[in-house]
Structure formats: structure tokens, C-alpha cells
Amino acid sequence: EKGGYQHFMLKEINEQPKAVRDTLAGRLPDGSDVKLDDIKLSADDINKINKIFIVACGTAYHAGLVGKNLIERLAKIPVEADIASEFRYRDPLVDEHSLTIVISQSGETADTLAAMREAKKKGSRILAVTNVVGSSVAREADDVLYTWAGPEIAVASTKAYTTQLVSMYLLAIKLGLERGTITEDYAEMLKSELRQLSEKIQKILDNQDTVQKLADNNYTAKDVFFLGRGLDYSVSMEGSLKLKEISYIHSEAYAAGELKHGTLALIENGTLVIALVTQKHLYDKMLSNIKEVTTRGAHVIAVALESMREIEKAVDDVIYIPDCAEEVAPVLAVIPLQLLAYYMAVARGCDVDKPRNLAKSVTVE
């Protein structure tokens, strides 16, 4: 059942090229169009939306943060990404001109369901992004965008996340095209980047030995800090959650620019820092943040694009991911972070598929 893998999590990490391919299948026809058959939103509906809320929990929320960035960038609609258990108790300013996007792998998470019902009561249209056909979220939503990740068994979410990201790109391009806020050339560029993702993920997976070695060298870490800017910050949050959830190592994600506002005090000789460097327009800024921590003795592993070789001079180790447009980099950057968490947890002898205190589907509020 684990297909020769030691754990479901490793199997699911390795299934990502297929999961991403299946989620894109049939949705990227030639030309600039995006085909989302299960979504009935008309051009008119799309043009009337004046605010979008994205609500979800855990990993799905982290996918929502990338969704917020992309939808605002492409469709120029203000987006708030919210943790479901916070959203429902803060009397959000949702109305009939809002679109609420709920993201849930299982489609059964209690807080997400409650948040969705709250938004619906306030008159919002609901679009669900879920992996389970016929789940509660799918049944109660107005529109459904399925991720085709296949069953995810491990408690730690991996292939659901990457397919949720892909769904965010599809939606952002669709909304951008309908509202005329992106050019067809730009949409085609992004579509071509999306089509290449599956192969690029495979390339990273083919090199997992490198990540395993780094995990073996660092698994005794007491604290790990993940740093990034922009989309890299959202991916950092997912990398940090993955690590703490299965390896029980304390870890935190920080927007790299926030370091000097407090966190820098925690960096000492030997502190492990994972720095994400995939956003070309933020490269120089990231480099100075890396300097801030290496000066204080941090051990830095960077996750960077292949073409950024000069980063080697600034850090201790580098995990390279294939070059890509910076918009889609989260889908690639998260793969080494999943592998790092996995191999560190294995090295520590943890029960990777069933971490203590956690359940796959959280059906209590």
C-alpha cells in the first residue's frame, strides 16, 4: 500500500509530479484561456466581485497566502487570507459582492466549514478548493475547483499543498483574464511555466540524496528559523509547519525584513537558518538578511534557483531548484522543505505518518 516507500509521507512527496499534472489536465488549453468546468461564475459575476476572502487552516491556509499574492497581482482584487478559526469570530466585512474561497484537502475541517457557512449567511458566493469529491465543503459550495492529488494518508500534507497552489494559479489567471488586468502574453507565459512544473519537481526529487545528507547533518537542531520575503515568506511558513509537525523541532518562519525588529536576538552560534531565495526582485534584500544572521554565527542552508550560483559565497549549503518564473517558485521551493522535514524526522526516529497529538482531519472546532 505504501508502494515500496517506508512511509506514506515519502510516497506522497514523490507523487507530486503526477498530482500536479493531474490537477492541470484539461485546464490549460492552447491559447490564453483557462478551463475550469466546475466553476459556474460568469464573466459578469467575476467583474462584480469587489473583495475576496480566502479561509482555511494549517497547510491549506499557507496555500491561501500564495493565492492572495497571486490574485491581487493578477486580478487586482483586494484579497484577505484568513485562518478559518479567526475569520468566523471577527465579524468579517463579507457581503454579496464578496467571493469567499475556502481551501480544504479533506473538505471536512470543522473550522473551515463553520467559516464557510458564516460567509454564506452574509451573502457571499463560495468557491471551494478541495481534494475530496462529495465532501461537506464541496457539497455546500456554489462552485468547486477540485485538486486531483489522489488520497493523502500521511497527517502532514504535501501533495495536497502543491495542488492547492496550482489551483490558486489557475484561478488567478482566470480572474485576471476575465477582468482584463493581465495581457494574453503574460497569461501564456504563466501557463507555459505551469506546464513545466511537473518535470521540474521530478528533477528535485531525483536529487533527494542531497537533502537527505543535509538532514542527517542537522537533525539534532533545537530551533530552526525559516526566512523569506514575498512568496518565499509564505513558503517558509509551510516549511516551518512541516518540520515542527513531524520532527517536533521548534521552528518559526519569519519575514526576513522583520529580523532586526526582534528575532535577531535569538540567533547565536550554530543556529540553523533555512533561507528561501527564489524571488529575483528581492535577491539583494535577502542577501543582506542572510548576512545579518551569518555574522552572528548562524548555519545557513539556502534554497535558491540554479542560476543563483553566487549565493554559495554567502551561505554554508545550498539546495538548488530549477529556474522558473518567480510567481510559480513556491511549488518548487516547498519540495526540498518537505524532504528536509521528512528526513530530519526519520533521523530522529519519529512516527512520521502519525505525529503525536495530531489527526489527519480535524472535525472538532
Phi, psi of 235 (to 5 degrees): -65, -35
Q: Which amino acid is at 108?
A: E
Pattern 152-181, ligand M6R, x by CB under 6 A: ---xxx------------------------
Q: Does residue 20 interact with ligand M6R by CB under 6 A? A: no
Catalytic residue among 51, 120, 280, 360: 360
Regarding 104 and contact with ligand M6R (CB under 6 A), the answer is yes
Residue 88 CA to residue 78 CA, distance in Å, equals: 19
Residue of 23, 85, 100, 106 interacting with ligand M6R (CB under 6 A): 106
Identify which of 267, 263, 243, 242 has the alpha carbon closest to the alpha carbon of residue 254.
Answer: 263
Q: What b/e sequence results for 38-63 when a residue is b if at least 16 CB atoms lie within 10 Å of its CB, and e otherwise?
A: ebebeeeebeebebbbbbbbbbbbbb
Q: Are 224 and 270 in contact (CB under 8 A)?
A: no
Distance of closest approach, residue 359 Cβ to ligand M6R, in angstroms: 8
> Hunting for cell 521540474 — which residue is that?
200
Choose between 281 and 356: whose C-beta lies nearer to ligand M6R: 356
SS3 assignment, position 79 = strand
118 binds ligand M6R (CB under 6 A): no
Q: Which of 331, 326, 286 is nearest to 307 (CA)?
A: 326
Point out which span in 46-54, 104-112, 211-219, 257-265 binds ligand M6R (CB under 6 A): 104-112
Q: Which of 23, 32, 59, 69 binds ligand M6R (CB under 6 A)?
A: 59
Kindly tell me which residue out of 153, 266, 347, 362 binds ligand M6R, with binding defined by CB under 6 A. Answer: 362
Task: Write down the least CB distance from residue 155 to ligand M6R, Å.
Answer: 5
When asked if residue 58 is in the footprint of ligand M6R (CB under 6 A), the reply is: yes
229-288: contacts with ligand M6R (CB under 6 A): 241, 245
Report the residue number, 178 or 238, with the smaller CB distance to ligand M6R: 238
Return the number of the residue (324 or 346) whose C-beta is nearest ligand M6R.
346
Residue 105 interacts with ligand M6R (CB under 6 A): yes or no: yes
124 binds ligand M6R (CB under 6 A): no
CA max distance for the chain: 58
Among 36, 55, 60, 321, binds ligand M6R (CB under 6 A): 60
SS3 111: helix
Of 51-59, 75-83, 186-194, 228-236: span binding ligand M6R (CB under 6 A): 51-59
Q: Is the dihedral of CA 288, 292, 294, 298 positive or negative?
A: negative
Q: Which of 57, 173, 255, 340 binds ligand M6R (CB under 6 A)?
A: 57
φ, ψ dihedrals at 229, nearest 5°: -125, 150
Name the phi and psi angles at 204, rounded to 5: -65, -40
CA–CA separation, 347 and 218 (whole Å): 10
Is 120 annotated in the active site?
Answer: no
Q: How far apart are CA 351 and CA 365, in angstroms?
A: 25
Nearer CB in complex with ligand M6R: 112/163: 112
C-alpha cell at 321: 531548484
User: CA angle, corner 216, sides to 210 and 222, nearest 5?
Assistant: 125
Active site amino acids = 360
What are the residues binding ligand M6R (CB under 6 A)?
57-60, 104-106, 109, 112, 155-157, 241, 245, 361-362
